Amino acid sequence: MSETSQLLAAIADTGRDPVRGGYSRPVFAAAERELLDWYVAELDRRGLGAETDRNGVVWAWWNPAGVPLQDTVVTGSHLDSVPGGGAFDGPLGVASALRAVDLLRERGVVPARPLGLAVFPEEEGSRFGVACLGSRLLTGAITPERALGLTDPDGNTFADVARAAGLDPAGFGRDDEALARVGTFVELHVEQGRGLVDLGAPVAVAGSVIGHGRWRFTVHGQGNHAGTTLLEDRRDPLLAAARVVVAAREVAAAHPGTRATVGRLQPVPGGTNVIASRVDLWLDVRHPEDAVTAAVVAEVSRRAVELAAAEGCTVQVREESLSPTVAFDAGLARRLSGVLPTAPRLDTGAGHDAGVLAGRVPSAMLFTRNPTGVSHSPEEFCTDDDAELGSVALADVLQDLLG
């Protein structure tokens, strides 16, 4: 087994989800904290101390020259997962960062500039609804007031959960001092589609992250009895919500290149013999052109109002997050391509902390091939060989950037 795979093997049993399959590692919950303990122990073994900043980002520095932390090169990813996710989304980038340090040391590299490692909390937004919450707080892309009030599915606020994890809610927010240390950021991530399979290559350099957002539709109807309520007397918000799901697919199909998804839908109170009184559904829309994303959401929202009214229901639509399309720093991407001349350039439909950081510091990404082309699923995969090739590519890139 390659060294990169060995690192991942140590956490292969942490956060397995026996009900959904795969892994459920929500931010600040036990499994994600266990992964963080593993990560800190791995840093320790390398003589690298971990420090958690006021937004919960965990940093470590390899700084053999002992120079001030400025104009550094930083790499890293995340350890939280979606519900029932794969083993590689996040942890592959973290393991590759550790392996890259080992490779550089094996090569006898003694960097003149500090190399940083970073792990960001709540990249998936699967617990508090807003993806890349740690990097958004760090960069000021979300206000601390809004972040602290976000709630998880059990009604716990981000403030309370973060406090229980040892963070001070008063400290959250844009941290220019922490960011000023970062000269360049490079995130390695498992590819989340089949781009590299189609191209027959193990590693790609990222071109852009396509724009994406999340909207919450709340449909209000009338809760009632499944047996006594005649069909003509019903105001069933779940029926209206089901039609909104279909409308989202239809509107997306009319705008080529759009990805529109409803992956979460919550009827309240949620009983087999109960007509729901309210349904929340979450719509995820992505398109390379931000204007198309906006047009699709406007059209789905308009149709939702009509579909709800036809069932005697009402609907409210709220934007939960919106990230425009991000083109990574062209000069930096060219530099990575110079180091990895056989690596193709690939755009991605998945969101990443590197996409958020790109607004403040030159950022880049590497993708490692996923032979199934499937992600956010237990089927996500990366072969032993490719995992190591990705780490070697990352080490090559870091060596060049540090030189």
Candidates 76, 351, 362, 390; binder of ligand GLV (CB under 6 A) is: 351
Is 255 annotated as contributing to ligand binding? no
Q: Which is nearer to ligand GLV, 116 or 355 (CB)?
A: 355
Q: Which is nearer to ligand GLV, 132 or 275 (CB)?
A: 132
Q: How far apart are CA 144 and CA 356, in angstroms?
A: 16
Is 85 a binder of ligand GLV (CB under 6 A)?
A: no
Candidates 80, 122, 124, 236; binder of ligand GLV (CB under 6 A) is: 124
**Least distance from Mn ion to the Cβ atom of residue 63, Å:** 27
Site string for ligand GLV, 309-338 (x = CB under 6 A): ------------------------------
How many other C-beta atoms can be found within 10 angstroms of the C-beta atom of residue 272? 5
**Least distance from ligand GLV to the Cβ atom of residue 189, Å:** 9
Is 131 a binder of ligand GLV (CB under 6 A)?
A: yes
**Least distance from ligand GLV to the Cβ atom of residue 90, Å:** 9
Is 89 a binder of Mn ion (CB under 5 A)?
A: yes
Q: How far apart are CA 315 and CA 157, in angstroms?
A: 24
Is 283 a binder of ligand GLV (CB under 6 A)?
A: no
Site string for Mn ion, 336-375 (x = CB under 5 A): --------------xx------------------------
Is 122 a binder of Mn ion (CB under 5 A)?
A: no
Q: Output b/e per residue, 235-251; b: 16+ Cβ within 10 A.
A: bbbbbbbbbbbebbeeb
Is 376 annotated as contributing to ligand binding? yes
**Least distance from ligand GLV to the Cβ atom of residue 268, Å:** 25
Is 286 annotated as contributing to ligand binding? yes
Can you read off the two tokens belonging to residue 34? 């266990």
Question: Using an 8 Å Cβ cutoff, are 223 and 274 in contact?
Answer: yes
Closest to 189 (Cα-Cα) out of 212, 207, 205:
205
CB under 8 Å to 124, separation ≥6 — which residues?
27, 78, 80, 81, 82, 85, 89, 90, 131
From the list 83-91, 206-214, 315-323, 339-347, the region that binds Mn ion by CB under 5 A is 83-91
Binding-site residue total for ligand GLV (CB under 6 A)? 4
Q: Which is nearer to ligand GLV, 86 or 202 (CB)?
A: 86
List 117's β-bridge partners, or say none.
Answer: 60, 75
Is 124 annotated as contributing to ligand binding? yes
Q: How far apart are CA 246 and CA 252, in angstroms?
A: 10
DSSP state of 173: S
**Least distance from Mn ion to the Cβ atom of residue 237, Å:** 29
- Strands 314-323 and 115-120, by their bridges, are unpaired
Question: What is the number of the residue whose Cβ is closest to Mn ion?
Answer: 89
Q: Which is nearer to Mn ion, 4 or 277 (CB)?
A: 4
Is 189 annotated as contributing to ligand binding? yes
Q: How far apart are CA 378 and CA 16, in angstroms?
A: 10
The size of the chain, in residues, is 403
Nearest 5°: phi and psi at 67? Answer: -90, 165
DSSP state of 289: S
Count helices and strands (H / E) in the chain.
Answer: 13, 15
Nearest 5°: phi and psi at 178? Answer: -65, -40
Candidates 332, 350, 389, 398; binder of ligand GLV (CB under 6 A) is: 350
Tell me which residues touch Mn ion (CB under 5 A): 89-90, 350-351
- Could you list the residues known to form a binding site for allantoate, using ranges: 214, 273, 286
Tell me which residues touch ligand GLV (CB under 6 A): 124, 131, 350-351
